[in-house]
Structure 1
Amino acid sequence: MKKLKLLAAAASFAALTSAAMAGTIGFSSPNFDDNFQTVLRETAKSHAEKLGHSIQIEDAREDVGMQLSQIQNFIASGVDAIILAPVSAAATPQITKMAEAAGIPLIYVNRRPADLDKLGDKAAFVGSDETWSGTLEAFEICNQAAGTGKAVMLMGILSNEAAVTRSEDVREVLKLSMCKGIELIAEQEAKWQRTEANNVVANWLSSGKDFNIVFANNDEMALGALQALKAAGVNMDDVLVGGVDATADALASMKAGELDVTVFQNANGQATGAVDAAISAMEGNALPNWINIPFELVTPANVDKYMGNN
């Protein structure tokens, strides 16, 4: 009987310990309508729940004020950790201070915070080095174009560090001697969105702009550009279009002979890495300020390797 009581007590203690370890993570997504961010948040949710934690996800709708309010609500509700892809890098120092004052672990994912070098032991950035994203895209398009052509560029929301960096990457690559025959004749913000990019490119075409290369800061905008080009009757063999993210839709477009270049940004790797970092910090472990998930170039030659990854 004593042995049975001891076993029952041990089982009860194990259950209590397991419940105590289970935590709640608040996740602020910048945009539910973005395909890459959708993969990111859904993978994070699945991974957290698989590990026994609950996750509360909110849509900031690319609104800084809304995201700040969500962070405040997470803190007020007593979440055990916060994960977010910031709407604006400029707001991250304030967010970092809010979480630090509350003693809550904070994980930035996908979009690099402005205060990366000042994050404490309970905060980290899980994401890729943006200096490689636009660089890989632009270098490969330059190579495929044999260093000549007229180009346009579709940029993400310019309050995002990724949009600024990827755009500058393209400009820097075009300064290389191998790309000196490529002229960048127009660039415009298209807010990461397929519809916005479609409208921008359609307007360029209707205004008589003559171009045969499209650099896009992400795949959604690249796909929007392709929609506009096809609607205008442009032969896909006569234009080069590149993006970043290697989303499922982008890879399907590449397999169909439309998209020419993308750069694999590992949404699943970033999401699981962010959740793992949050749990580690919840358990009292110190975090590095940056957990890097490398970019990888994707072309029609190796596209099959990436099918189903994002």
Structure 2
Amino acid sequence: MSVRTNRPRRRLLTSMAAVFAAGAFVVGCTSNEPEEEEAPAAETGGGDDAGAGSGNDEPGETVVIGFSGPEADHGWLAAVNDSAIAEAESYEDVELRTAEGTNDANLQISQIETFINEGVDAIVLLPTDGAQLTEVAIRAMEAGIPVVNVDREFSSPFAARATILGDNHGMGISAGTYACQLIEDNDIQDPVIAEIAGIDALPLTQDRSAGFAEALEACGQTVDNRVAAEFTVESGEEQAANLLQAAPQIDIIWNHDDDQGVGVKQAFDNAGRDEFFFIGGAGSSNAMQWIQDGEMEATILYPPTQAADGIRLARLIAQNKGMSDLVQVEVPRRIVLNAPVVNADNVEDYLHLGFDS
């Protein structure tokens, strides 16, 4: 049996998370970090004349960019790596040197040291562990090689020229705000809300859960049942089955991760449970297909394009360009991407961002 969205819905703006942007915080920020202005990622950058309409996509001086990311053992990570490579290939003035994906921090450190020794023009780095890669990133910066930090933040502001992040706290805010809207639209009395988190020890999971709880609190609700999985299909199925056994009636379930959501959905089908609104997280192709088929209410996007955006920023920085949609003449130091709600109203706009689980 499939989970179905059989209650009426009201169209919701996908940019609801923007309401909370002013208060959102970013994973991994350190208290001694200087405050930086956040700016939206531009579709195209800006040229030497920092005005809209400048020709940043026009070929410029060829730059060599080193890219290092974790092992693609998760659908989202594979999409991150693939999007970075594809973005680099779209520019004739970018030579990309890609290190083999690894979950070994020491190996990744040696990869960055190789980039430093080769004298690349910029480095785009999604670290296995931000703290462990901080020192080598600082060495790259001291060698005059700008580093673009992606997704997992370094522990020093001196380790990166620019940082581009997804918004984990914002994901929770979006999911909770959407849940509140569903409760209001469907006049659900005393709703039972469940949460299937990822790995609880990770700051990203803690931030997603914190945002979800904060948004629910705004409409007088709390999480009634919660389990934590491990971002895998197997753990998703196991923990979702445990959740269903513990809660005979549920109105809304938010699952943090669409990769583990494959197992979560299987557990729903195995139990024959379809009485709830099912909200996912990250934006996999599976989730978007389920939304189109009426088997899932929504998913909260965690952009898999972060490293691709990192490639664009590295190119601009290495070519001494700015961003065309900003008056500021230089690339910002920090960019936090939005975490929009993707539902039946707008799923076609986001299909191209879906990744295979």
Change in 2 beyond 3 A, CA 1:297/1:204 = closer
Shift of 1:157: 6.5
Q: Does the 8 Å contact 1:151/1:211 carry over to 2?
A: no
**Equivalent of 1:187, from 204, 227, 241?**
227
Query: 1:35: which partner in 2?
Result: 75
Contact 2:200 2:228 in 1 (8 A): no
CA contact (8 A) 1:141 1:261 kept: no
Residue 169 (structure 1) shift? 0.7
Q: Comparing both chains, which one has the higher relative contact order based on Cα–Cα distances under 8 Å and sequence gaps of 6 or more?
A: 2
- Which structure has greater strand proportion? 1
Which amino acid in the other structure matches residue 245 of structure 1? A
Give the corresponding residue for 1:25: 65
CA contact (8 A) 1:30 1:86 kept: yes
User: 2:197 touches 2:205 (CA, 8 Å); kept in 1?
Assistant: no
* Preserved contact between residue 152 and residue 211 of structure 1 (Cα < 8 Å): no
Alignment partner, residue 162 of structure 2: 124
User: What is the rounded CA distance, in whole Å, between the counterparts of 2:109 and 2:196 in structure 1?
Assistant: 31
Residue 114 of structure 2: aligned partner: 73
CA positional deviation for 1:149: 0.4
Q: Using the alignment, how far apart are the partners of 2:71 and 2:276 within structure 1?
A: 30
Structure 1: state its 5+ residue gaps.
Answer: 1-18
Give the 3 Å change call, closer, same or farther, for CA 241–114 of structure 1 in structure 2: farther
In the TM superposition, residue 292 of structure 1 has moved relative to its aligned partner by 3.5
Q: Look up the SS of the partner of 1:267 in the other structure.
A: coil
Flag structure 2 segments of 5+ consecutive residues without an equivalent.
1-58, 322-329
* TM-fit CA distance, 1:58: 2.4
Which among 265, 268, 274 is matched to residue 310 of structure 2?
274
Aligned with residue 296 of structure 1, among 327, 337, 340: 340
1:100 aligns with 2:100: no
Structure 2 counterpart SS, 1:174: helix
1:222–1:242 CA contact under 8 A, matched in 2 = no
TM-score (norm 1): 0.77
Matches of 1:31 and 1:179, distance apart in 2? 41
Contact 2:236–2:261, Cα closer than 8 Å, also in 1? yes
- Select 1:148's aligned residue among 171, 187, 191: 191
Residues matched between the structures, number: 280
Tell me which moved more, 65-74 or 224-233: 65-74
Aligned-CA RMSD value = 2.9
Q: 1:164 aligns with which of 195, 198, 206?
A: 206
Q: Is the 8 A contact 1:123 1:287 kept in 2?
A: no
Check conservation: 1:219, 1:246, Cα contact below 8 A: yes
Alpha-carbon separation, structure 2, partners of 1:23 and 1:220: 35
Amino acid at match of 2:346: N
Aligned residue for 2:240, secondary structure, equals helix
User: Deviations for 1:215-239, whole angstroms, at most 9, x for unmatched residues?
Assistant: 22222233331122212222x3x12
Equivalent residue, structure 2, for 1:175: 217
**49 and 301 in structure 1: CA distance in 2 versus 1, 3 angstrom threshold:** closer
The 8 Å contact of residues 109 and 133 in structure 2, kept in 1 or not, is answered as no
Secondary structure of 1:175's partner? helix
Question: Partner of 1:217 in structure 2?
Answer: 256
Distance 2:204 2:138 in 1: 22
For the 8 Å contact 2:166–2:337, the answer to whether it is kept is: yes
Equivalents in 1 of 2:241, 2:120: separation in Å? 45
Are the equivalent residues in 1 in contact too, given 2:195–2:253 (CA < 8 A)?
yes
Give 1:201's aligned residue.
240
Q: 1:298 to 1:48 in 2, by over 3 A?
A: same
CA contact (8 A) 2:71 2:77 kept: yes
Match of 1:136 among 159, 169, 174: 174
| Matched residue type, 1:164 | Q
CA shift, 1:114, in A, is 4.3
Q: Which deviates the most, 137-146 or 225-234?
A: 137-146
From 277, 281, 301, give the equivalent of 1:244. Answer: 281
In structure 2, relative to structure 1, the CA distance for the partners of 1:158 and 1:84 (3 Å cut) is farther
Cα distance change, pair 266–60 in 1 and its aligned pair in 2 (3 A): same
Q: CA deviation at 1:32?
A: 0.8
Q: CA deviation at 1:299?
A: 1.7
